[in-house]
Each structure stands twice: as C-alpha cells, then as structure tokens.
Structure 1
Amino acid sequence: MEYTIRLEQLSFDAIIGILPQERSSPQPLEIFLELVYEKKEDFIDYASLETLIIRHIQKNKFHLLEEALQETLFLIKKSYPSVKKVTMRIKKPTILSHCIPSVSLSLNFS
C-alpha cells in the first residue's frame, strides 16, 4: 500500500538567499511537502519529518532555494528509505513587495 503525507504551511525563519540582508537576518519561509511512501513495517512520523526539515534548512544557511530543496529531499530519502516520491515547495513570503516567490522540486525514487 502507498500512503501520502502532506505538510502544509510549515512556517519558520531561516537564513537563505544571496542578498546581503538575507545573509545577515533570518527570514520567514513557508514549505509545502508531499511525500509518497510504501508502508511495510514502519510508518513515517510527520512530527519527526517536520523537525528534520526545519533543523536541516536552518543549520545549512543555503544560498539558493534550489540547493535547499535538493539537499533536503535527499536527506528525507536517506532518513526514510520507504519514500518513493517527494515534492517540496519553498516560499519566501516577505522578500518581494508585489509577489511571493517560490521554487519547487519533485523527485521520484521508485
């Protein structure tokens, strides 16, 4: 059986970006994650998944959203081998005045 976990509106502050103000002060991020996994014996604890994502992004202080996405998705797969597909989108809701930029990445591991 395949199950889907979604984390929606995962919000926290982190240093991410290339602009000088982005390197000096954390900014709000909003993440959407969709993860498909095959349940065998274990389940995926979405609370520990949330913690894994927040700690990883905050610790690494990425320059690009693309780097954060790729490294985080590979970390999720390494931490949860039963993951078959994962999609993640990161939004920066306060960086621009007239829109909310975001970048997403989907990886299929099956």
Structure 2
Amino acid sequence: MSFNQPDAIIRIKNLRLRTFIGIKEEEINNRQDILINVVIHYPADKARNSENIEDALNYRTITKAVIHHVENNRFALLEKLTQDVLEIVKQHPWVTYAEVEIDKLLALRYADSVSMTMSYRRDIL
C-alpha cells in the first residue's frame, strides 16, 4: 500500500562508452569516449516491500539497451545522441521523470568535456 511516498530514484553514473560522434573527418573515422549519466524516477510502490525483480524497474535492461544503441550507431550531433538515449530510458511506463547527460570527452582543447543534458517528465492525467 502506498502512502504517497516520493518516487524512487535510480542513478546510472559514469557509463563509459565509445562511439562515433561528430562532424569532422577524424570524428567520423574514429570512435570517441563519452560518459553517460542517467537519472530515472519511478514510484517503486511494489518493489519497496518485495524481493521480486518483476516489481522493480530493471536498470540492467535499460543500460544494455543504451550500450547497444550507442555502440552500434553513428551520431553527428550530441543533441541527437542525447535524445536517442533519453528515448530508451523513458520507454518503461513506470518512468515519471528521466534525465540524461552525455559528456563528449576532450571535445574542446582546454576543457575536460562538453556535455548535453535533456530531460523528460511524464504528463499526469
């Protein structure tokens, strides 16, 4: 039974992947390191008092889908890559809020990275 508890929050931190990202010839021909951080909110009402994986949002399944998509595609824009990952993360109907931040490492000469953040909030009817 739920007593209007706040959503549970899953954080996938510093998922390090390599993909083709960018528009310069060097970027088109060579994979680059990216860093992905994901935040997922969901009610977790069933999982709070259960040991059954079916009662929880399976972050491993989500992560595997993200890895597969990122590593098997090419992206010209960081915006497109970030939106694609957000689409994967928000697919499950339990997700009430999702945020994806992707860092393109060493994209600028004097910066550690350039990042893009996008979020999604499910409309409550």
Letter of the 1:19 counterpart: K
TM-score (norm 1): 0.88
Partner of 2:22: 17
Normalising to structure 2: TM-score of the pair?
0.79
Query: Whole-Å Cα distance in 2 between the matches of residues 74 and 13 of structure 1?
Result: 19
Residue 103 (structure 1) aligned with residue 116 (structure 2): yes
User: Aligned letter for 1:84?
Assistant: T
C-alpha displacement at 1:94, in angstroms? 2.3
Question: Deviation above 4 Å: which 4+ runs of structure 1?
Answer: none
Is 1:90 aligned to residue 102 of structure 2?
Answer: yes
In the alignment, is residue 68 of structure 1 matched against residue 81 of structure 2? yes
Larger radius of gyration: 2
TM superposition shift of 1:33: 0.7
How many residues were matched structurally?
A: 109
User: Cα deviation per residue 1:71-90 (whole Å; 9 max; x = unaligned)?
Assistant: 22122222x11101111111
What's the CA shift for 1:8?
Answer: 0.8
**What's the RMSD between the two structures over aligned residues?**
1.5
- The residue number in structure 2 matching 1:56 is 69
Give aligned-pair identity as a percent.
27
Contact 1:87/1:105 (<8 A) preserved: yes
CA offsets, 1:45-64, max 9 Å, x none? 22222211111112221111
Secondary structure at the counterpart of residue 72 of structure 1? helix
How far the C-alpha of 1:19 sits from its partner, in A, is 1.5
Structure 2: gaps spanning 5 or more residues: 47-54
